[in-house]
Structure 1
């Protein structure tokens, strides 16, 4: 019988070695929880038995997981999450829910928040203020990160100003003007205009377009002539020039004429100039602009200086940032300055976490021993807080595991020695007859 007693000890030591080796192998696994082999003795007893009896070895009672808190490692990603306290993240693959402490999440090609295995992270719904509106496992839902926010708006009005030099010359092609070689503006010929400035506008779909103004001096004050100066402004939207008379049929398009008095003050245009509609390449619709030059538009002895340009169009806001609060509230920030509350990360607790069924890769599944999940937002009830920009390390103390490994190895050797001793005793008894 001593053979079988020692054999049970060998098997137990071998199991203990396997559990410890698994702990050591996963020391670098995010969210891993170490296990511990638990043993009990085997006693053969009956109702009529009296006194103490010799044991018959040991047996494996349980391999218990230790759900103690692991340390945190910092990360530069807002979607790397760690739970400080109790609870599990909830993920879903097809119809199966699973639970994990590994919070290395990312956005997939369909803009869903998923874990490293492609399982969708489950969240609780929230209102516009970020308050949770429903609880329970039945309210779990996947979260899709919006890439845009708001509606685009086509630019209709430009408000601008410019400072034009009073000593600017006529463009070379104009000074070479003759009855046989007429002046011709060409935006690709820098000699045919004095200055240019550009700004970004938007079509009705929010596509950005470049609006460029080319300034051409057409007349300078001279003795015996009016002391006024005149300029022309050619407005191009993309590759198309808009006509200042508002008529799409005008060919070639008419530039805007700007007049300055002897003091450099703008005398014309005095109000809003409505340009003709144009359809530049890359635009989803026609663009119709109105331009207003402000009081800061002057002609003085200075360098050419385009002033501040404001326009009333905009593109749809593009996703700029995602943040996660300690309560698990996911907030998206967009390039237009708007924000949107998307949901609260769901945290699940169990009456008996040790009863969870291990699924591998840092996942657990519900079982009859674990009880029903207790679902809440982070920081409420028994759920821990969430730390963004961090990941939970394995709760394995490598020094402790190495000591346990030595102890398990000694236990194995001792049981092997006991079998060897029992074998020697048997040999001695068998050899007595000889």
Structure 2
């Protein structure tokens, strides 16, 4: 029996050395999980053991160091829970921690073994193979412009309406007959005219003369052209309004607006259009400041594309947001859909300071695929030459109730077994699954110093078991030589 025990010890120590050697050999393998041998004693119907056996080879699914690789398709599982789901060309599903992927000739995202990475379509629930997008991204017509501006509270008012002079008339009688006299007044100063239109100065009543007005009759004495009492209103309107000439908006007249800001928008074909926002400060109304905004598209002005912004005395926007710009694209060889844009000014102000404007429009032209980036939640995001981004899918991760029950199949992969249980599949960061780090890989979790120590122990174990066989041989030799 001593030989059998020693032989079992040699066999177990040899297998242990195999495991240690495998760990050391794969210390540079991305996603590799180190293993360890567990042993069990062997007994029959006796109090003396029959030796040792290897009970199992367990793998340690602890997380390896995550290091940056720079490869756009590389990804690391940043946590203990989760394995990538990959499909072999024959349709079999495997699981791996190795996140070294690339795009093959068919634009599939695969690993070095040709296994395709699995995930979900945006908003989908069924597993599909992940691919790299081809072709151009569709353009998006501009539908919103979000402005946040400050309009100069000290800007000059540009008159928006005509205000004519009001010339009054009063009938005065100096005893020889009633004569009409025409004037302008601000209540204290009078300017006299000889005609109802107020174009020819002169015609003031004679100084020192007392006149009788029409009904109700009253006497007025003029001294230096100024009456000694107010002129009654029976002759006409005596309110004085300074003459003002309106300045209608015209993009060619810089005096008709206060500030112009250009921006680019897009139609349904991705063609660019220039929109110019012309801000014009108008007369205050109701104690609030008023700004008129005119929109010129590709040099064409439509009065319907006009907004009125109202600010309170504290410079806060009261009304005018949102506004609208509507136009039909023209000038191209292919017709595009009419464009309707909602223009928001929420958060805009009118303070005493320089003009400032920040705006964002949501349209873009078509663009070619440029690169892929990976979000921490497993999103595969395609980046295009026009600056647009598009989510192409979500990476799937799988977890098992018993990871030790998985069957290693080589190529950094495991297969599901009855002992592992069925996979629990989800997206990174959900249901306790780990997150993803893009352009990085998870290194092997082999602890080289620990493995070298384990190697020394296994070597000594092997030597000790060999010594028991040698000792048993000597004992047997002694028995044989006995007479």
For the superposition of Structure 1 and Structure 2, which TM-score range results when normalised by the shorter chain? Answer: 0.5 to 0.7
What pairs with 1:313-352 in structure 2 (closer than 5 Å)? Answer: 316-352=366-402
Is 1:405 matched up with 2:393? no
TM-score by length of 2: 0.52
Counterpart of 1:90 in structure 2 is 85
Whether the 8 Å contact between 1:349 and 1:382 is mirrored in structure 2 is no
1:421 corresponds to which of 471, 474, 479: 471
Deviation at 1:362, TM superposition (A): 0.4
Give the match's secondary structure for 1:348.
Answer: strand
Higher strand share: 2
Counterpart of 2:137 in structure 1 is 149
TM-score by length of 1: 0.58
Counterpart of 2:117 in structure 1 is 121
Counterpart of 2:55 in structure 1 is 61
Deviation at 1:315, TM superposition (A): 7.7
Deviation at 1:321, TM superposition (A): 2.5
Deviation at 1:78, TM superposition (A): 2.8
Distance 1:56 1:93 in 2: 44
Give the match's secondary structure for 2:8.
Answer: helix
Larger radius of gyration, structure 1 or 2?
Answer: 2
Counterpart of 1:9 in structure 2 is 9
Distance 2:106 2:452 in 1: 45
Is 1:73 matched up with 2:60? no
Deviation at 1:106, TM superposition (A): 1.2
Partner deviation per Cα, 1:86-119 (whole Å, 9 max, x = no partner): 1100111131111000001111122111112221
Deviation at 1:341, TM superposition (A): 0.9
2:96 corresponds to which of 67, 79, 100: 100
Deviation at 1:151, TM superposition (A): 6.0
Whether the 8 Å contact between 2:379 and 2:391 is mirrored in structure 1 is yes
Partner deviation per Cα, 1:43-64 (whole Å, 9 max, x = no partner): 113xxx7xxx111100111011
Give the match's secondary structure for 1:22.
Answer: helix
Give the match's secondary structure for 1:419.
Answer: helix
Give the match's secondary structure for 1:426.
Answer: helix
Distance 1:340 1:73 in 2: 26
Deviation at 1:152, TM superposition (A): 11
Distance 2:68 2:107 in 1: 25
Deviation at 1:31, TM superposition (A): 0.3
Deviation at 1:338, TM superposition (A): 2.4
Distance 1:31 1:342 in 2: 25
Counterpart of 2:442 in structure 1 is 392
- The root-mean-square deviation of aligned C-alpha atoms, in Å, is 2.4
Distance 2:140 2:391 in 1: 21
Counterpart of 2:43 in structure 1 is 43
Give the match's secondary structure for 1:63.
Answer: strand
Give the match's secondary structure for 1:58.
Answer: strand
Unmatched segments (≥5 aa) in structure 2: 142-268, 271-329, 335-363
Whether the 8 Å contact between 2:85 and 2:95 is mirrored in structure 1 is yes
Partner deviation per Cα, 1:378-398 (whole Å, 9 max, x = no partner): 011131011112111111000
1:140 corresponds to which of 102, 105, 127: 127
Deviation at 1:146, TM superposition (A): 1.4
Distance 2:399 2:432 in 1: 7
Is 1:19 matched up with 2:19? yes
Matched positions, count: 265
Whether the 8 Å contact between 2:113 and 2:411 is mirrored in structure 1 is no
Distance 1:404 1:112 in 2: 42
Partner deviation per Cα, 1:3-58 (whole Å, 9 max, x = no partner): 0011100100000011100000000000001111111001113xxx7xxx111100
Deviation at 1:316, TM superposition (A): 4.1
Give the match's secondary structure for 1:412.
Answer: helix
Partner deviation per Cα, 1:323-368 (whole Å, 9 max, x = no partner): 1111101111211232211111100000101111111010101111
What pairs with 1:362-381 in structure 2 (closer than 5 Å)? Answer: 362-381=412-431
What pairs with 1:217-296 in structure 2 (closer than 5 Å)? Answer: none
Whether the 8 Å contact between 1:4 and 1:57 is mirrored in structure 2 is yes
